[in-house]
């Protein structure tokens, strides 16, 4: 089964500082990878998805970027954080597009507070 390692668990950063969140996947190869953000009391908003190394697509225009330097590594970055970037960031992996009845595997999330 898949396992997603995501770190750090919590992060407090000042406005204007850079950001780097990392996610690594175990137990599968060539997964689709996703970054979601969840605001308090809100649903999950898809930020980026990747179907392979170096292939990144953005769902919403924003202050963030993503990269996939290796098959099982997905990185979320920002050059200058805004207050509105605060939230709960989740990395997710999928591989079967519903064929095997297996849903997404999520990491444990990073709680980012921009101050």
103 lies in the site for another protein, by CB under 8 A? yes
11 lies in the site for another protein, by CB under 8 A? no
**Residues in Cβ contact with 70 at an 8 Å cutoff, skipping those fewer than 6 apart:** 53
Region binding another protein by CB under 8 A among candidate stretches 11-19, 68-76, 77-85, 88-96: 88-96
How many binding residues for another protein (CB under 8 A)?
Answer: 27
SS3 91: strand
How many residues would you count in the chain?
115
51 lies in the site for another protein, by CB under 8 A? yes
**Could you tell me the two tokens for 72?**
């099982």
Near another protein in 19-38, by CB under 8 A: 32, 36
83 CB neighbour count, 10 Å cutoff: 9
**Could you tell me the two tokens for 38?**
């969840």
Q: How far is the CB of 17 from another protein (least distance, A)?
A: 23
Q: How far is the CB of 39 from another protein (least distance, A)?
A: 10
Half-sphere exposure of 17 (CA within 13 A, CB side): 12
Q: How far is the CB of 23 from another protein (least distance, A)?
A: 11
13/104 Cα distance (integer angstroms): 29
Q: Which residues bind another protein (CB under 8 A)?
A: 4, 6, 32, 36, 41-44, 46, 49, 51, 88, 90, 92, 94, 97-98, 101-109, 111
């Amino acid at each position: 089964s898949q396992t997603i390692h995501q770190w750090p668990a919590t992060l407090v950063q000042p406005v204007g500082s850079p950001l780097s969140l990392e996610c690594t996947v175990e137990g599968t190869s060539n997964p689709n990878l996703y970054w979601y953000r969840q605001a308090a009391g809100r649903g999950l908003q898809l930020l980026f998805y990747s179907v392979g190394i170096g292939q990144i697509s953005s769902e919403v225009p924003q202050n963030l970027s993503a990269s996939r330097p290796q098959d099982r590594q997905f990185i979320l970055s920002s050059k200058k954080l805004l207050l509105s970037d605060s939230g709960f960031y989740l990395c997710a992996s999928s591989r079967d597009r519903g064929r095997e009845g297996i849903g997404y595997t999520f990491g444990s999330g990073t709680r980012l507070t921009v101050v």
